[in-house]
Amino acid sequence: MPVPLFDPTSPQAPLRADIRAAVHRVLDAGQFVLGPEVAAFETELAAYLGAGHAIGVANGTEAITIALRALGVGPGDEVVVPSFTFWASAEAIPATGATPVFCDVDPDTMCVTAETVKAALTPKTKAVIAVHLFGNVAPIAEIEALGVPVLEDAAQAAGSTSPAGRPGALGAIATFSFYPSKNLGAFGDGGAITCRDADVADRVRTLRFHGSKDKKDYVDIGYNSRLDEIQAAILRVQLPHLDAWAANRVAAGDRYAEALEGVVALPRATAGSRPAWHLYVIRHDDPDTLLAGLKEQGIGARPYYRVPVHAQPPMAKWAPAHDLPGTAEVARTHLAIPMSAALDAAMVDEVVEAVRGTVLAAR
């Protein structure tokens, strides 16, 4: 039985009538930018996360740039960011005029830690980007204790939980992407910024709207970065189902962990967290052979960040002079295997059988 790497459409299938109705509601209203659907979604998302404020923006990348600027990041500042992450986590920093400073990750959780962040801090550090990678929850409180504001990159962690709360409500400010493949996905691009401080939220709203509150008076050089009404309406239909989808991701991850213990290196959830795995990423000393074996059996799999961000040519001038051993290890050995809200026990067992068989055949 073929098993795709991810399947964002199947969980949405029962909601298609409601989604169509939501889209027609927007069409009938004739208001397509910063209207009632965006306002309602912002309120509902903030309530779901336990965040004080949520502001819809055009995409997850601009969300990071705007969030950093709302924290006061600008030219001459440094922002600590992991190198084992999606490109956008670091790409968004130079757009503020600040410099990215790359830190290492814990290879078991694949997230930053207080120790890896501390090693990268300098007197110029203005903020830290802590990525909740693959849905795992980075230790925000421990990092905040270092005395620098933390931006949570929660693009991959919608639906995850931790003892301190949900990603998006743990640090000074947080960002989300609603790219279609995400745990909560729109039918196009979309993003959001959440924060606990009203003044910071007000600055985010101004920056997303050309640096203006009313399109007549301008107080800053901002962005044209707004979540549109149709996407907000679609997201409103899906948000009430996010916890059920997340529970399925958690259950699939638990089944993988039980069945693949000792076969491959498994992702370890951070203390007390329940990751709604956006991707389930294992590690193996020969990931290319494992990848080939899985593909032969119709099992979706792929590496994501084989070349870390700091090793990409546009980031070369900011590459650290020292090694990032955890980053090098996970970049070399990682492989994502199927994960989605539609993944059932039979599919997990199919993947497990394929992984086991390939690993054993290679010994």
Query: Distance between CA atoms of 25 and 21, rounded to whole angstroms?
Result: 6
**For residue 282, what are the β-bridge partners?**
335
Nearest to 107 by CA among 340, 329, 321, 281: 329
**Which whole number is the average pLDDT over 68-82?**
98
**Which whole number is the average pLDDT over 107-116?**
98
Answer for the pair 193, 204: CB distance below 8 angstroms, yes or no.
yes
Looking at residue 214, its pLDDT comes to: 85
**Torsional sign, CA 49, 50, 51, 55:** positive
> Which residue intervals of the chain bear CATH 3.90.1150.10?
243-362
CATH number of 13-102+110-240: 3.40.640.10
> Which residue intervals of the chain bear CATH 3.40.640.10?
13-102+110-240
**Which whole number is the average pLDDT over 191-211?**
97
pLDDT score of 363 more than 80? no
pLDDT score of 278 more than 80? yes
Nearest to 343 by CA among 279, 296, 292: 279
Looking at residue 63, its pLDDT comes to: 98
CA 301 to the chain's CA centroid? 19
pTM above the 0.85 mark?
A: yes
Q: Residue 258 corresponds to which amino acid?
A: E
CATH number of 243-362: 3.90.1150.10
Find all residues with CB under 8 Å of 9, minimum gap 6, and list them: none
Instruction: Sort strands 173-177 and 78-82 into parallel, antiparallel or unpaired.
Output: unpaired
Answer for the pair 246, 276: CB distance below 8 angstroms, yes or no.
yes
**Which whole number is the average pLDDT over 248-254?**
98
76's torsion region: left (phi>0), alpha (psi -120 to 50) or beta? Answer: left
Q: Is 14 exposed, middle or buried (0-12, 13-18, 19+ CB in 10 A)?
A: exposed
**For residue 153, what are the β-bridge partners?**
131, 175
Looking at residue 361, its pLDDT comes to: 85
Looking at residue 109, its pLDDT comes to: 98
Query: Distance between CA atoms of 333 and 283, rounded to whole angstroms?
Result: 5
Give the rounded percent of residues in the chain with a pLDDT score beyond 70: 100
Answer for the pair 79, 129: CB distance below 8 angstroms, yes or no.
yes
pLDDT tens for residues 294-318?
Answer: 999 999 999 999 999 999 999 999 9
Looking at residue 362, its pLDDT comes to: 75
**Which whole number is the average pLDDT over 261-265?**
96
